[in-house]
A and B are shown apart, each in its own frame.
Chain A
Amino acid sequence: MTLAIDDLVKTFGEVKAVDHVSFEVEEGAFVCFLGPSGCGKTTLLRIIAGLEQADTGAVRLGGVDMSGVPARKRNFGVVFQSYSLFPNMSAQRNVGYGLECRGWSKSERQKRACEMLDLVGLADQARKLPSEMSGGQQQRVALARALAPNPSLLLLDEPLSALDAKVRDTLRQEIRSLQQRLGITTVMVTHDQDEALAMADTIVVLNGGKIEQIGHPRDLYTRPASAFVAGFIGHMNVLPVTRNGSGFHFSNTILDVDEADPGQGDIRSLGIRPEAIEVASSHGANAPRNVVPGEVRAVTFLGNLTRIEVAPDAQKDTVLTLELHGACDIPKLGDGLSLRLPSHALKVLP
């Protein structure tokens, strides 16, 4: 069923946690709320779940306004960040709990719980208590528990952030494939951009209670709508520029930008991703267009890539970051280095 969020507002005292948020989620889609802590993403999820009341606005599921429906009657599945498995119940009873609340008979509950545990690959752990399972196993049981009553919507509140990196990666893929197999509309909250990029069909970037941008992960990366989105999803070098006819001036370098429309008005900054910056072959004072001479300020070796920070000679406080992949000549600290900023990679930032 389609989930529609219509002009939601929620304030806590002076703070506007959710500030006039509207969007729609198609049936079967996986949507991520992404943003820094305090951006209102968890509050938004809790309003959808019914655990929090919005001041104004509506949550509609399949066209039906949910505001009069209490949380426990919404039939939504939720997986919380902390392992919220009931510590007094075995994995199987945890999974069957939602069915118990719906008046299923014991044998039906057990059958369904076993099916669900099998689905998350834990059929052999049915009798164990949560305290006897690892964090990853507990979150799998929590997922099975949320899915067992066949919910109309699955809500995931930072489900992976308490797990260690390896488990997080596998579980990320498992959740995504399970979601696609069941075709269940899913909303996940996360502050981890990698997680959002890897899992979501659509990402809703939130900042200060407002939506910054909604879109497919690839679109958000390649065409960020604001400097905030650009900086939050991946790294983006931001260059303050002045416009002069067809070209942009970054200090004394002229930058050509493919996507710039001459009709566009006031443009003050350009962005470029670290991996798009190239090392120019020659280094000299008389630099050609789109080449910025500078000095290496920091070199960080990260295994498969090396991150280099370069301070442009003409504007030393705007440090540019670039990433060099594989084995190549790694410049040393203090070396002069000219950077080529390809015209196709330079983005106009609003």
Chain B
Amino acid sequence: MTTLAPRGRATSDAAVGWCLTLIVAVPFVVFLVVPLASILVRGFETPDGLGLQNFTQTFGSARFWDLTVNSLAMAGLSTVIVVSLAYGYAYALQRTAVPLKPFLRIACLVPLFAPSLVQAQGLVLLLGRNGFLNRFLGFDIDIYGFWGVVIASSLYAFPYAFLILSAALAVADARIYDSAEALGAGPLRIFKDATLPATRFGLVSACFIAFTLVVTDFGNPIVIGGDFSVLATEMYNQVIGQAQFGLGAVIGIVLLVPAIVTKLLNNTLSGRTHAIITDGARPLTIEPSPMRDLCWSLFVYGLVAVILSVPLIVLIASFTQLWPYNMAFSLRHYHFDVQNGLAPFKNSLIVSASAATIGVVLSTLAALVANRFRTALSGPIGFLSILPSAVPGMVLGLGYLVTFNDPANPLGFLYGTLTLLVVMITYYNFANAYLTASTSLGQIGKTFDEASTMLGGSRLTTLFKITLPLLWPTMIGMWVFYFMRTMVTLSAIIFLITPSTQMASVSVLQLSDRGAINQAAAFSICIMAVVVLCLALVRGLLILTGNRHVALIR
């Protein structure tokens, strides 16, 4: 038989690498670098040219410092509460034998499936002026203000803190616990000397992430804050209420600080956590202990009742005639005959599905360029890909507003379209998807690439026949995550909402604001239903195709 040379291809492998690089890099500059740069520029822009006037004006006002103290106090207290509770909850699930763990794990993540202001919405229905407790149980609670925001924010940040702490508590070396017990240490001492030190990085990380989430959150404080304002709501008022873009930009820059600190700290910490568990480690086995398990069960079931009471009361309100005056069952709020009808909901679905699709494609390409098709721009692309995780949604949103609402911008026609929302959300959630794709590519390993090369496959052949078929379950997981985050986000899109681009989560805010609590509740429930349905469908698909291991919620 004759020797057969592999078939030639017109495009060389290097050209393919550069092609992909440009596909990723150009939109990065236009839709991430420019908006972030313009928010910085806006901060320094004054009627008399560039200057520090916005900063001096902001930092010189007593109101700014009041708001800063409000934000710090509220976020600080919420962080302490949420991390303590989440630690206990995660501890109970990982280290004790409480019953029905799968239920408990899913139940505490429910807030992730709801629009981010649902906590405030639910608390108003439970504890507000016309709330369940005041109205029907004879209490006289005033929830609007500091405490309302603290409770709502704690509930909001709970799942995020839980996921981190649960991962930290999941790894343990049984040998350490055995020897501690053999040396005569009591349970408290073992906790102080073994458990706590092993999870301290997770604790610090959870604290910073919870703090950043809470301090940059806008939906909950605006719904339940009453007269109590924080930096995030002030930013909204400056920009939307008074069109003071420069002052809004200054607050945006201030809000970037905790987010960037969190990101840097997380990068430093994640490198160290691995060293705790060594080769010979033996996983912990949990022996039932009736007294301990009963105590922890009381705690976790009490907590999960509080967490679930929020979506539950929203669900009830969505099915009542007119909360709280006429509590009869009714489906009329699901007719969506108010405001724009179902349009915001359709917009949300379109934007979420489009952003998820584009985001998965672009973030996978970015991961491929950074890990496989290396070019001179691979490094910068890797950096830009994780940058969005350090940018709060409101800040990126304001960046888009000042960039694309500018008549001088040739892409200005995008302002006021759903397309711009899609693009913005694509980059807002980029980091998470990119990191997932990168990790997955790392696990696939380079041997397959080399094997394919030696058999005569070009890089494109390898990509389409080997890499992508192996990556698709992960990409499906990324898609769901994107979709879910987009359906529920509020702070990222709030600045880009125009009458022609209404979104469901914003409708919830506006309906609540107008006092239409029942319709607002119905909207929230629909968002949750879609997210849960999507998660369930994809989970089913993954199980059917033998990809049970792919994580959907991170």
* Chain A residues in the interface with B (C-beta under 8 A): 49, 51, 70-78, 80, 82, 84-88, 97-98, 100-103, 145-146, 149-152, 155
Contact = CB atoms under 8 A, between A and B. Distances in A.
Given A51-B454, A72-B455, 9 more contacts: A49-B454, A72-B458, A97-B455, A101-B455, A101-B456, A102-B4, A102-B456, A149-B6, A152-B3
Contacts of B466: 86, 88
A64 B459 CA distance: 25
Interface in B430-461: 445, 447-448, 450-458, 461
B470 interface: yes
Contacts of A97: 452, 455, 457, 465
A97 B466 CA distance: 10
A72 B457 contact: yes
8 contacts: A72-B6, A72-B455, A80-B447, A86-B451, A86-B465, A101-B458, A146-B455, A150-B3
A70 B447 CA distance: 17
A97 B452 CA distance: 8
Nearest to A150: B1
A103 B450 CA distance: 19
Indicate the member of B2, B448, B454, B456 with the most A CB atoms within 10 Å.
B454
Nearest to B457: A101
B451 A78 contact: yes
A155 B456 CA distance: 15
A277 to B, nearest CB: 40
Contact of B7 (A51, A103, A155): A103
Nearest to A131: B546
Nearest to A49: B454
Given A88-B466, A88-B469, A101 B6 contact: yes
B3 A71 contact: no
A203 B454 CA distance: 24
B4 A73 contact: no
Interface size class of B (residues with CB under 8 A): 20 to 34
B5 interface: yes
Interface string B472-515: 00000000000000000000000000000000000000000000
A149 B455 contact: yes
Contacts, number: 85
Residue picked from A75, A97, A101, most chain B C-beta under 10 Å: A101
B3 A145 contact: no
Interface string B7-23: 11000010000000000
Given A72-B6, A101-B7, A102-B6, A149 B470 contact: no
Contacts of A86: 448, 451-452, 465-466
A84 B458 contact: no
Contact of B4 (A70, A75, A76, A87): A75
Contacts of A82: 445, 447
A98 to B, nearest CB: 4
A149 B456 contact: yes
Contacts of B448: 84, 86
A88 B7 CA distance: 23
Contacts of B447: 80, 82, 84
A133 B543 CA distance: 22
Given A80-B451, A82-B447, A88-B466, A73 B457 contact: no
A150 B456 CA distance: 12
A142 to B, nearest CB: 8
A100 B465 CA distance: 10
Contacts of B470: 87-88
Tell which of A78, A86, A145, A150 has the most Cβ of chain B within 10 Å.
A86
A75 B7 contact: no
Contacts of B13: 70
Contacts of A80: 447, 450-451
Given A80-B447, A86-B466, A88-B470, A71 B454 contact: yes
Contact of A102 (B1, B7, B452, B469): B7
B456 A73 contact: yes
Nearest to A83: B447
Contacts of A71: 453-454
Contacts of B8: 73
A84 B450 contact: yes
Ranked nearest first, the 6 interchain pairs of A and B with the lowest CB-CB distance are A98-B455, A101-B456, A84-B451, A78-B454, A88-B469, A84-B447
A73 B454 contact: no
Most buried by A among B3, B5, B456: B456
A72 B7 contact: no
B437 to A, nearest CB: 17
Contacts of B461: 101
A150 B469 CA distance: 27
Contact of B456 (A49, A51, A75, A84): A75
Given A87-B470, A88-B469, A73 B5 contact: yes
B453 A72 contact: yes
Contacts of B455: 72, 77, 97-98, 101, 145-146, 149
Contacts of B1: 150
Contacts of A101: 6-7, 452, 455-458, 461
A100 B455 CA distance: 9
Nearest to B444: A87
A101 B451 CA distance: 12
A298 to B, nearest CB: 29
Contacts of A84: 447-448, 450-451
